[in-house]
């Protein structure tokens, strides 16, 4: 079986690699001939509006999927008429627009920071909802902190609006969060659902730098975890390291959209409250640890899900941390000398802000994991805040 994948970056590359042991082939599609997934699997390089090339991509494929949510909607819709596209283009349509995304989250009872679209004719109306400070974001095509800025004063707010012109914008209340977390879930074509343990994420300049896995046990549907998202916005969160949160939300998202594939929900935690920030309808950077750290990786489970195969266990194999290699690489010898450090390089040339690879640390105890992380951060410094 061959699967067509829109996008040929590192996520496409890791999806392609996960397909090999299962005897699955992939064909990737990316406008850039240098897209790094092309180093490991066949890559078609053509623009997203090359309908002939897209029609050929659909030919003979079991299904198609996408590895980033900024694939033009009409590209995915064109493909959908020829081959099943999973997750559906409806998910793409909602989650590539920050306004539709937040409206949808609220409509299924998942709380978000206060937000409002910015009407260029009456820009200050949004401020009445969000207050100051607030975060301005372009509704579309923002990622890794691109297309956003924080306004502390009315003047900064208006300057940012000018800067982002002519893009449609939303304003969000600035959240003084304790930490950022993400929940990663997967739903198969058969309706089977599995949710990985909650992950804590450290970002710098809007880019994910470190993910720490909260739990060492899978997250069974416990009354506590179900409470998150079902009992209102102030439901209790399980203690850090003891369980997972956000399953209630992620399960609700997967079910309400009849979703098929992996989905990530990024959230802010303030005290015992979770506020949803962003949904990624695809495999996600905060799930890279699952390659070595879980019984079944997010990439394999995504492929299983979109083909209607039974899902693999999401149980973690010990304590994990994942460090992204952004902009520049550490000395490789020193990294490989760290026990249980699993290095992944994406075959991309270094450029500031570019994700070049990642390292997953896996250990039998939390103390050991923390020691390994300290060693790695000594070689490749990333501060928590």
Q: By CB under 6 A, tell whether 247 contacts ligand AMP.
A: no
113 interacts with ligand AMP by CB under 6 A: yes
Q: Which stretch binds ligand AMP (CB under 6 A): 85-93, 172-180, 229-237, 309-317?
A: 172-180
Q: Does 175 bind ligand AMP (CB under 6 A)?
A: yes
Residue 117 makes contact with ligand AMP by CB under 6 A? no
Name every residue whose Cβ is closer than 8 Å to that of residue 88 and which is 6 or more positions away in sequence.
Answer: 80, 257, 258, 259, 260
- Pull the structure tokens for residue 339: 């026990």
| Residue 202 found at the interface with ligand AMP (CB under 6 A) | no
- The stretch near ligand AMP (CB under 6 A) out of 170-178, 281-289, 319-327, 334-342 is 170-178
Stretch that binds ligand AMP, among 169-177, 251-259, 295-303, 342-350 (CB under 6 A): 169-177
| Binding status of residue 292 toward ligand AMP by CB under 6 A | no
If you write DSSP's letter for every residue of 315-381 in order, what string do you get?
Answer: -B-SEEEEEEEESSPPPHHHHHTSTTEEEEE------TT-EEEEEEEEESSHHHHHHHHHHHHHHS-
* Shortest spacing between CB 10 and ligand AMP, in angstroms: 18
How is residue 313 annotated by DSSP?
A: P
**Residue 277 interacting with ligand AMP (CB under 6 A):** yes
DSSP letter, residue 140: B
- Beta carbons of 139 and 97 less than 8 angstroms apart: yes
CB 29 within 8 A of CB 66: no
Asked whether the beta carbons of 115 and 135 are under 8 A apart, the reply is no
CA distance 72 to 19: 25
Q: Please, which residue, 142 or 243, has the CB nearer to ligand AMP?
A: 142
Q: Which of 6, 135, 280, 306 binds ligand AMP (CB under 6 A)?
A: 135
Contact between 206 and ligand AMP by CB under 6 A: the answer reads yes
Q: Is the dihedral of CA 110, 220, 216, 281 positive or negative?
A: negative
Of the listed pieces 6-14, 173-181, 237-245, 310-318, which binds ligand AMP according to CB under 6 A? 173-181
Kindly state the smallest distance separating residue 169's Cβ from ligand AMP, in Å. Answer: 13
**Using CB under 6 A, which of 4, 142, 238, 281 touches ligand AMP?**
142
d(CA 162, CA 124): 13
Three-state SS sequence of 38-80: HHCCCEEECCCCCHHHHHHHHCCCCEEEECCCCCCHHHHHHHH
Q: Which of residues 20 and 141 has its CB atom nearest to ligand AMP in the complex?
A: 141
**Smallest gap from residue 99 Cβ to ligand AMP (A):** 13
Contact between 298 and 184 (Cβ < 8 Å): yes
Residue selected from 180, 247, 292, 300 as contacting ligand AMP according to rule CB under 6 A: 180
Q: Which residue in 140, 203, 226, 240 binds ligand AMP (CB under 6 A)?
A: 203
Binding site for ligand AMP (CB under 6 A): 113, 135, 142, 145, 172, 174-175, 180, 203, 206, 266, 277-278
């Amino acid at each position: 079986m061959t699967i067509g994948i829109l996008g040929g970056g590192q996520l496409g590359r890791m999806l392609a690699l996960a397909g090999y042991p299962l005897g699955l082939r992939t064909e990737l599609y990316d406008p850039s001939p240098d897209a790094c997934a092309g180093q490991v699997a066949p890559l078609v390089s053509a623009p997203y509006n090359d309908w002939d090339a897209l029609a050929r991509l659909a030919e003979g494929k079991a299904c198609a999927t996408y590895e980033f949510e900024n694939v033009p909607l009409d590209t995915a819709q064109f493909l959908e008429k020829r081959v099943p596209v999973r997750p559906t283009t409806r998910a793409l349509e909602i989650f590539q627009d920050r306004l539709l995304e937040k409206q949808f989250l609220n409509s299924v009872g998942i709380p978000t920071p206060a937000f409002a679209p910015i009407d260029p004719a009456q820009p200050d109306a949004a401020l009445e909802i969000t207050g100051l400070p607030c975060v301005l974001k372009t509704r579309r095509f923002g990622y890794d902190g691109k297309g956003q800025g924080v306004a502390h004063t009315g003047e900064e707010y208006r300057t940012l609006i000018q800067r982002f012109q002519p893009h449609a914008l939303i304003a969000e209340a600035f959240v003084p969060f304790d930490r950022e977390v993400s929940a990663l879930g997967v739903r198969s074509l058969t309706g089977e659902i599995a949710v990985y343990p909650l992950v804590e994420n450290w970002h710098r300049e809007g880019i994910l730098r470190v993910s720490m896995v909260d739990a060492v046990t899978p997250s069974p549907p416990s009354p506590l975890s179900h409470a998150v998202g079902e009992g209102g916005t102030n439901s209790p969160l399980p203690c850090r390291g003891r369980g997972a949160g956000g399953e209630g939300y992620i399960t609700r998202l997967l079910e309400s959209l009849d979703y098929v594939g992996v989905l990530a929900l990024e959230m802010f935690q303030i005290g015992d409250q979770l506020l949803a920030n962003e949904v990624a309808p695809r495999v996600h950077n905060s799930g890279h640890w699952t390659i070595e750290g879980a019984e079944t990786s997010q990439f394999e489970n995504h492929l299983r899900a979109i083909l209607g195969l039974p899902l693999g266990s999401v149980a973690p194999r010990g304590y994990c941390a994942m460090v992204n290699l952004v902009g520049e690489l550490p000395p490789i010898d020193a990294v490989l000398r760290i026990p249980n450090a699993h290095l992944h390089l994406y075959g991309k040339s270094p450029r500031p802000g570019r994700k070049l690879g990642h390292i997953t640390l896996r250990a039998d105890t939390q103390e050991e994991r923390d020691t390994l992380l300290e060693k790695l951060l000594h070689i490749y410094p990333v501060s928590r805040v």
